[in-house]
Chains A and B, each alone.
With several copies, the nearest count.
Chain A
Amino acid sequence: MRTVVRVAERVEETPSTVTLRFPYEAPAAPGQFVMVWVPGDDELPMSLSYVNGPRKGVTVKVMGATSRRIQQIGPGDLLGIRGPYGNRFDLSPRRILLVGGGSGAAVLAPAAEAARARGGEVSVALGATRSSELLFRERFSAMGARVEVATDDGSEGHHGFVTEVADRWIADAPFDVVWTCGPEVMMRKVLASAAGRSVPVFCSLERHMKCALGMCDACAFGPFHVCTDGPVFSAEQLTRAEDFGRFHRDASGRRVPL
């Protein structure tokens, strides 16, 4: 059963990223996602970038046809929403490092806010191709997080991979947990930085999704289904899934390299 929502607000976050806000009552937690149906077009999984209260939001990066189409949606337009689905970040640790690349910040921002609201200390290593693409940079600062940015083109902050910032921080500072979301090669590097140190790492993953109910097997990932066992996985779980960072399944279920 889908709920039809009318988009209330559209915010251009970066040149390639748009947030859509809409009224949606179902309770949700940071880490969870919804299925967003663009009538007449596809339906895609999207992390909730705003989870609290009745006005939820998703933040969409242009990838292909449907995400482009979603970006053209504006106030007054209708979307079909179901969910939220999936698991959530455990908000109990106190000193939290976030490592976000690209649209990965979409799922990390509400998690960071929730952690701050509980009195947690939040540090954010935020990466993007260039300065203008740094997602939710203000939002992280506004919540009182320590933010350090990295850009591929050096237009701002560290010139290079965000994982280099993360690696330095993990080595220097004592964190109780690391949360990361972004390309899987990036997340593999974060895991590598944390390896041998006792800090637990949780990664938010993306896989092709159809049912989001843990039934159709589209999002099969090793012994897991990303839609119900994830999208947040522990480093330990990821060692049991050899596909991590290497393979995903396409719409037909074929295992293809990432």
Chain B
Amino acid sequence: MADLGVECAGMRLGNPFLLASGIWGESGESLAGAVRAGAGGVITKSIGAEPRAGYPNPTIETYSEWGLLNAMGLPNPGIDEYPKEVAIALRAGAPVIGSVFAGDAAGFAELARRMAALGVAGLELNLSCPHAEGFGTEVGSEPRDVEEIVRTVVRSTRLPVIAKITPNTTDPAALARAAERGGAAAVSAINTLRALAINVRLRRPVLAHGLGGLSGRAIKPVGLACVWQIYEAVSIPVIGVGGIATAEDALEYVMAGARAVEVGTAIAFDGIAVFERLSRELSGLLDELGYARLEEAVGAAHPSKGNAAPASAGRGAISGAR
């Protein structure tokens, strides 16, 4: 049985599957439930300074079983209410990563400081929500802004800081390099793609907000391209996210350069049991491919980084890689 443990951004994860922010992540008991279901770690819903109700319903629209559009509008109970949720989540025993969002560097730093005080293992900065006005992509699309926000947060905490990068950009690698310059311990990619669904019978957008973000299997190839480009551009670890629903999806991300991955939309379609299945299937897949440890596969598809076949691989595998 291949070893799924990974070291990522100073955190030790029993398996590479993290609960993505915004899914099962508002309440402490749900976060704990994800850990019990087998997540290697959990990321909270993005928390802001104040309670936010988010946009009115409809806030989600499924796109067959291949995608999901959402415009939740960053609902969250606010940082004042959040200590009790984190306390419950921590009891489950796996690393809890606190996700935060704000409109500027000072806002991020303040939230990061308060989140850090709750005992989380790391912080993820949501620089990439495509539909919340004044937040997300609006503060995360310029390398200069990303660098400043990350630097300010890094100065205000000792925890590892993960910058979550938007795919709605010409050059995701430039954003990742900016995060690295700012002192990020890792970057995660991707958040959702700016998207829209129209109901032709009602002649209006389905989501109350109009524009939303696309997640799920539809976006996997886009997430993989971002992770690939970012891995070529930075030396800090990359965390892959976008459309992971099978162990093979996860391994694609790992071979593209991810040290860990996040899982979101698959939970809507397959339930929380997806974590247990992903770990089991990934173990089997690594065994089949001759990897003793998942970490050996990180970046394995990049010729530029001189990655070689696993030591244990047989002739076929070697010939495949030559």
Contact = CB atoms under 8 A, between A and B. Distances in A.
- A and B, direct touch (CB closer than 8 Å): yes
Interface of A: 1-2, 4, 6, 35, 37, 39-40, 42-44, 73, 76-78, 80, 82, 210-211, 213-218, 220, 222-223, 225, 228, 249-255
Nearest to B53: A251
Given A76-B315, A210-B72, A254 B81 contact: yes
Interface in B278-322: 314-317, 319-322
Given A78-B319, A216-B23, A40 B204 contact: yes
A238 to B, nearest CB: 14
A44 B57 contact: yes
A216 B51 contact: no
A78 B320 contact: yes
B60 interface: yes
A258 B277 CA distance: 37
Contacts of A213: 60, 62, 268-269
Interface string B1-28: 0000000000000000000001111110
Contacts of A214: 267-268, 271-272
Given A2-B206, A76-B315, A77-B315, A39 B320 contact: yes
Given A2-B206, A215-B267, A76 B51 contact: no
Interface string B31-72: 011000000000001000001111011111111100000101
A17 B146 CA distance: 53
Nearest to A210: B59
**A-B pairs with the 6 shortest C-beta distances?**
A43-B57, A251-B53, A220-B27, A217-B26, A78-B320, A215-B268
B159 to A, nearest CB: 23
B210 interface: no
B78 interface: yes
Contact of A222 (B29, B64, B201, B204): B29
A214 to B, nearest CB: 7
Nearest to B266: A215
A109 to B, nearest CB: 26
A217 B78 contact: no
Contacts of B319: 39, 73, 76-78
B128 interface: no
Interface in B258-277: 264-265, 267-269, 271-272
B100 to A, nearest CB: 15
B137 interface: no
Contacts of B314: 76
B57 A42 contact: yes
Nearest to A4: B201
